A and B are shown apart, each in its own frame.
Chain A
């Protein structure tokens, strides 16, 4: 799919996401906008029907729900139930196994990569062949279990596993560099046995695509799992949210919502 088409999808998804958060008067807008391009790239461009995506940063659930709905993996009407009593679509992805595109509910950080590695590792025994993608946050990279899974994936050369780190530099209560610095992140993943590529502008489709292609190409030769470090912007596309930790939590006022929609629709 052309990047211009992806940009149009991005605009539509972002508008939907803002509407869902606004109607619910809910937070976690920043994280959803941070990884929106990552999720669109995966679900519209990269993933084949048999491929699997685990969103380890479950707090970006609205981003995931929206992309699944826009890509035909979830009934778009169900989005209207988001955050309401009796919904399947809570603030974090469901654990009910009812939605095939969401094999695992997430929300507590540090689970996604192990789950993804387990699914990828299964292919040694089932003979199936598909790619498993796992989207991690900065916070995920604080968790010891993430690095246990990275050790396992590297050791077992899980070439069918691709990690995408939504590295926006912010986490729950501070900047990652102040809380528990992860740098040099590229070297860390490489030393764990991954084929690493950096998308310098992780909210730009062309950069994501180039990083994925380079990593996949290298992994074919090296038999390593892949890791894309996407240098993203939390709250991307909404000027007053960008790189602001508080937009991990805050809901929008009416005025803020109107401004966010305007900026999103004008977004290139």
Chain B
């Protein structure tokens, strides 16, 4: 998604001269086009994420539109207080971009994974977290995020284009990707593509929803109606169980009085203290397509 983001950023920055791009010394083989297009508006702030975030808040206070970029774990956790106080509490128009959410950086190891970012940031005042589910989805999510003149986080991952899904669908925080009647599947980020693949392999009539924003600013009615109809919900996220999409969906359904048979596939950390590719970690957490097939079989036939 980084390539798609860089392409969108280049255009957006050329159209908006008040946009400043700050990077925490990352972006090799990815952001060169943004750097070339933006000139002096592209600033390498060095490996100092805390300073970069507050610096951006100061720039936003002056009416500029700063974007802060690093890999997801570095841009979220080190400067968490700066995000909470200087950006969130002041509702500054600062966009925070984290690449490689979840297990995205695979074999780089645990220090490079971001499994709790959405829990942390979605709980902060005024912070809206945006998460595209595929490469093709990056542009519309970025457009939605940039249209919001407040504090936001963009979690980028690695996702191919799903088959049989309308990639040109207009942005909404809750979007139906495929319609079905047997089960409701709700996911955030590209791990949702594993769920789509699982449904396809099972030839399952699944009502699949992509959630692209936490907290969800507008739930619409389709998801609750779907859950009330199927009475079976699977939530999929490459994020820890606590504070992620599962809790948001469960709370929403409970407040709507919708009771369902529930399954939740989430990141389980490092259960064997071994490291590998993103696919390896997804498998250990039961987030790969094959594991999700088993979950769906149990949910629909159990």
**Interface residues in chain A, defined as those with a beta carbon under 8 Å from any beta carbon in chain B:** 95, 97, 103-105, 108, 110-111, 114-126, 128, 144-145, 148-149, 151-152, 155
Contact = CB atoms under 8 A, between A and B. Distances in A.
Given A114-B50, A122-B61, A148-B50, 15 more contacts: A97-B90, A97-B91, A104-B57, A108-B85, A114-B51, A114-B57, A114-B86, A115-B58, A115-B86, A117-B51, A118-B58, A119-B62, A128-B62, A148-B46, A149-B55
Determine the main DSSP class of B at the interface with A.
helix
Contact of B55 (A104, A105, A114): A114
Contact of A104 (B41, B45, B86): B86
Contact of A125 (B58, B64, B85): B64
Interface in B59-118: 59, 61-64, 81-82, 85-86, 89-91
B18 interface: yes
A95 B86 CA distance: 8
A95 B51 contact: no
Interface in B18-58: 18, 20, 40-41, 45-46, 48, 50-51, 53-58
A144 B78 CA distance: 12
A56 to B, nearest CB: 10
A111 to B, nearest CB: 5
Contacts of B57: 104, 114-115, 118
Contacts of A126: 62-64
A111 B85 contact: yes
18 contacts: A95-B89, A103-B61, A104-B61, A105-B89, A114-B86, A115-B86, A117-B55, A118-B57, A118-B58, A118-B59, A122-B59, A125-B59, A128-B62, A145-B50, A148-B48, A149-B54, A152-B45, A152-B46
Which of B18, B51, B64: most chain A Cβ within 10 A? B51
A145 B18 contact: no
B166 to A, nearest CB: 39
Given A126-B64, A152-B51, A105 B58 contact: no
Contacts of A151: 46, 48, 51
Which of A103, A110, A119, A125: most chain B Cβ within 10 A? A125
A119 B92 CA distance: 13
B90 A118 contact: no
A118 B54 contact: yes
Contacts of B64: 122, 125-126
Contact of B85 (A95, A118, A124): A95
Contacts of A152: 45-46, 48, 51, 55
Contacts of B40: 124
Given A104-B86, A105-B89, A121 B48 contact: no
Contacts of A148: 46, 48, 50-51
A98 B254 CA distance: 38
A118 B46 contact: no
A200 to B, nearest CB: 30
B15 to A, nearest CB: 16
A125 B63 CA distance: 10
